């Protein structure tokens, strides 16, 4: 859940800016007052709550609007009167009756009588007036309820997580720089690669001097607009590697924002700037074996033929480029890498082709297995591409071509 780019508060220092995160110690009194405000208003009609009082407590319009959304994790407007009512359906039926009985308009001198008649025809047995019943699903008619326990630390974690999500949902590109000689660098690269493959995130990894530089394509670069579903996958990726990054001595996550046409660097996080971040609901596990049923099926078929095929989870350095293929096939003294390319958006495929072209310049032993729908995009690749079609959810392809490429004989 993003709280909206318009509510993202930034702190500018010279030519660099930083997102405004909450801190447990620094903002303890503020968050305590916000929680007390909500506690004092539990049980009240939402429309009767004095929200101006909360705005005064917070003292900053952007932060106030962001906190309203964040506190929605813990306090929600609930209308218990909706259990046996469907206001949307009742409104539609009421408007039909008004059109039928009164030509679309009820004169003011018979309004009360008309409303009672319509209520009777709708079968509503209630002392409440029809106006109240028809609009009972309006948020102002609901009562504020506490839906989960909340602490100062909880508010900080959720706010800071949603700050990340707000940034990534609206990003063009994200950059991660990590000192290449960190002990956890291989595991970080592996988590980035596997999470990106699993969730369709477009990324690139390469070494530059003493850094591992990871570039992640944001939704605005790929889809020319903000996209919460894709941006939240980046949030998931970052939260997955944060524990590893936090143990590293030198790292940073940054992006660029555009103000008056001039890009301004935003330091999202770094080893010197580490906010407390909550975990995202959708957990990713390194125990995940396959990214898709297509991969699993291809793996099982090749393995059943006696081929030494493994899930290659370790990053491979090809020159400065860091590459993680889907599978690795070992035969005699040779190694082949297998890349499965499913059906994705045009922007994703273009990035994928560029990356495969780069990899193929260094290593020619790459086999691409791709959805037949992608043939127009992949036919210019200078590496073998074998296409499959789906039948009942299973990939149908010419496995003989794979055997010919790797020089495998079924008589072995």
pLDDT in tens, the chain (412 residues): 689 889 999 998 888 999 999 999 999 999 999 999 999 999 998 889 999 999 999 999 999 999 999 999 999 988 765 456 666 777 777 788 888 888 878 888 888 888 888 878 877 766 666 666 665 556 667 789 999 999 999 999 999 999 999 999 999 899 999 999 888 898 999 889 888 877 878 899 999 989 999 999 988 888 788 878 888 889 999 999 999 999 899 999 999 887 666 678 999 999 999 999 987 654 433 334 455 678 888 989 998 988 999 876 678 877 788 888 888 999 888 899 999 888 677 777 888 888 888 888 888 899 999 999 889 888 888 889 999 998 877 889 999 999 999 987 655 5
Handedness of CA 28, 31, 32, 33 (dihedral sign): positive
Tell me the angle at which helices 28-41 and 152-169 cross, rounded to the nearest 10 degrees. Answer: 100
Which residues are registered as beta bridge partners of 16?
Answer: 13, 265
pLDDT value, residue 173: 92
Q: What is the largest CA-CA distance in the chain?
A: 95
Structure tokens belonging to residue 77: 């407007």
Question: pTM to 2 decimals?
Answer: 0.74
Structure tokens belonging to residue 324: 């993680």
DSSP annotation string for 53-122: HHHHHH--HHHHHHHHHHGGGTEEEE-GGGTT--HHHHHHHHHHHHHHHHTT---GGGHHHHHHHHHHHT
150: left (phi over 0), alpha (psi -120 to 50) or beta: beta
Residues 6+ apart with CB under 8 A from 69: 1, 3, 4, 7, 162
Which residue from 239, 247, 241 is spatially nearest to 190, judged by alpha carbons? Answer: 241
Residues 6+ apart with CB under 8 A from 60: 9
pLDDT value, residue 80: 63
* Residue whose tokens read 């039909």: 96
Strands 16-19 and 203-208: unpaired
Q: Which domains does the chain have, with CATH numbers?
A: 81-136 (no CATH), 170-287 (3.30.70), 293-406 (3.40.1350)
């Amino acid at each position: 859940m993003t709280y909206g780019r318009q509510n993202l508060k930034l702190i500018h220092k010279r030519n660099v800016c930083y997102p405004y995160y909450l801190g447990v110690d620094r903002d303890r009194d503020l968050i305590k007052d916000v929680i007390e405000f909500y506690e004092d208003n539990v049980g009240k009609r939402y429309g009767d709550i004095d929200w101006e009082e909360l705005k005064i407590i917070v003292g900053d319009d952007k932060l106030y609007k962001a906190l309203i959304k964040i506190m929605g994790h813990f306090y929600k407007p609930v209308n218990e009167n909706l259990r046996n009512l469907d206001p949307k359906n009742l409104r539609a039926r009421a408007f039909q009756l008004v059109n039928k009985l009164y030509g679309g308009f009820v004169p003011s001198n018979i309004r009360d009588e008309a409303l009672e008649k319509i209520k009777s025809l709708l079968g509503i047995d209630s002392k409440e007036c029809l106006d109240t019943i028809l609009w009972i699903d309006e948020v102002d008619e609901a009562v504020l309820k506490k839906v989960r326990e909340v602490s100062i630390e909880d508010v900080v974690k959720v706010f800071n997580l949603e700050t990340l999500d707000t940034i990534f949902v609206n990003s063009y590109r994200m950059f991660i720089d990590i000192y290449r000689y960190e002990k956890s660098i291989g595991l970080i690269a592996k988590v980035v690669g596997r999470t990106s493959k699993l969730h369709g995130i477009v990324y690139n990894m390469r070494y530059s001097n003493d850094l591992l530089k990871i570039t992640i394509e944001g939704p605005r670069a790929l889809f020319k607009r903000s996209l919460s579903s894709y941006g939240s996958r980046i949030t998931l990726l970052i939260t997955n590697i944060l524990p590893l990054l936090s143990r590293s001595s030198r790292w940073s996550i940054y992006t660029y924002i555009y103000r008056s046409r001039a890009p301004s660097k935003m330091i999202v996080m770094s080893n010197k700037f580490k906010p407390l971040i909550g975990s995202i609901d959708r957990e990713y596990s390194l125990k995940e074996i396959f990214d898709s049923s297509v991969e699993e099926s291809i793996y099982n078929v090749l393995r059943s033929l006696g081929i030494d095929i493994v899930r290659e989870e370790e990053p491979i350095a090809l020159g400065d480029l860091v590459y993680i293929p889907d599978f690795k096939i070992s035969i005699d003294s040779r190694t082949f890498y297998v890349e499965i390319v499913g059906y994705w958006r045009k922007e994703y495929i273009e990035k994928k082709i560029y990356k495969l072209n780069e990899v193929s310049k260094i290593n020619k032993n790459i086999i691409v297995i791709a959805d037949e729908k992608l043939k127009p995009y992949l036919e210019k690749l200078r590496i073998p591409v074998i296409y499959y079609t789906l039948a009942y959810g299973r990939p149908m392809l010419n496995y003989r071509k794979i055997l010919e490429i790797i020089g495998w004989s079924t008589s072995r």
